[in-house]
Amino acid sequence: MAGIVKRRTVVGTQKSQRGSEESPWVKWLLIGFAMLFCGVFLLLPLINVFAQAFAKGLPHYWGSLKHPDSLAAIRLTLLVAAISVPLNVVFGLAAAWAIAKFEFKGKSLLITLIDLPFSVSPVVAGLVFVVLFGMQGYFGEWLMDRNIRIIFAVPGIAMATIFITFPFVARELIPIMQAQGSDQEQAALTLGASGWQTFWYVTLPSVRWGLLYGVILCNSRAMGEFGAVSVVSGHITGHTDTMPLRVEKLYNEYQGPAAFAVASLLALLALLTLLIKTYLEWRQHREEGASQAAPDPTLPNA
């Protein structure tokens, strides 16, 4: 009798497993469609960028990158990223900690404001800064009297980039901190740790992978932002052109290989970002696997 029940259980399990699985042709059809889509819309354009960049040979490629205006665009892009990413890291950590660890009035409003750059067009965001800080803006006259220039200058580009990259770090950290809860921090405070020690030795190590993901995504978006920066920069060649703006200007001037040369540099940065992200994910899975496989020291036979 027990054998019959066991066989029925096994048969029922096999049927339920077969019922939850797709047929092989559906699986391969979906995989093939996904691979075809990625190849046509992702891989082919990327290959075309490098093919067009090297169309006139390696000397022309290096000459396009070493042009003074292109070098100025590269330096400005790196400078804006160096300004916006650390500021968004500080904000993202503070906002995620407040949202995940505390209950307060206006919490939903804060979450909505963090998501605002996702829903607002970058061009609209740039126009908002022009309305606020432009010569005819609300603060334009006050800034002019003090010889402070924001629009058509580096501060305006940095502010627009900070706004666009606002959510990336915070949105990576909020779910991680919410899942972890506040038990570890409470235990550290109970044992006599200060608030700064609790953050540095307990909170930060536990969210380091999410923080690194957020930094990578934030940096990638900061270097590739076009819409908001285009509005506030003024397109001053050699002064307020970032790499995306330089690509557009070269292309509009019918300098295709030079435009693709600068675009290839942006593509290389994107690929490097992807490789770093993949490596970090591999490291995270490896550490999680090692921690799960390690024996519990509290067990008698450990």
pLDDT, one tens digit for every residue, the chain (302 residues): 545 544 555 445 554 445 456 678 888 888 899 999 988 888 888 888 899 999 898 999 999 999 999 999 999 999 999 999 999 999 999 999 889 888 888 888 999 999 999 888 999 999 999 999 988 888 988 988 888 899 999 999 999 999 999 899 999 999 988 888 777 878 887 887 777 788 788 888 888 888 888 898 899 899 999 999 999 998 888 889 999 999 999 999 999 899 999 999 998 988 888 888 788 778 777 777 776 665 555 445 54
Domain boundaries, the chain: 55-284
Q: Reduced to 3 states, what is the DSSP secondary structure of residue 224?
A: helix
Burial-class residue 259 by CB neighbours within 10 Å (0-12, 13-18, 19+): buried
User: Topology of 55-284 in CATH?
Assistant: MetI-like fold (1.10.3720)
Tokens of 293: 């496989």
Q: Where are the alpha helices (DSSP H) in the chain?
A: 2-20, 24-38, 44-53, 58-65, 68-101, 107-119, 122-133, 140-145, 154-164, 167-180, 183-190, 195-198, 204-206, 208-224, 227-233, 243-252, 256-293
| Sign of the alpha-carbon dihedral angle for 91, 96, 97, 98 | positive
CA distance 164 to 225: 8
Tokens of 198: 């609790």
Residues 6+ apart with CB under 8 A from 218: 84, 85, 88, 89, 165, 168, 169
Which position has the token pair 């502010």? 159
Tokens of 115: 């998501």
Burial-class residue 109 by CB neighbours within 10 Å (0-12, 13-18, 19+): exposed
Residue 126 confidence (pLDDT) = 92
- Amino acid (one-letter) located at 14: Q
C-alpha distances out from residue 141 to 57, 200, 231, Å: 50, 44, 20
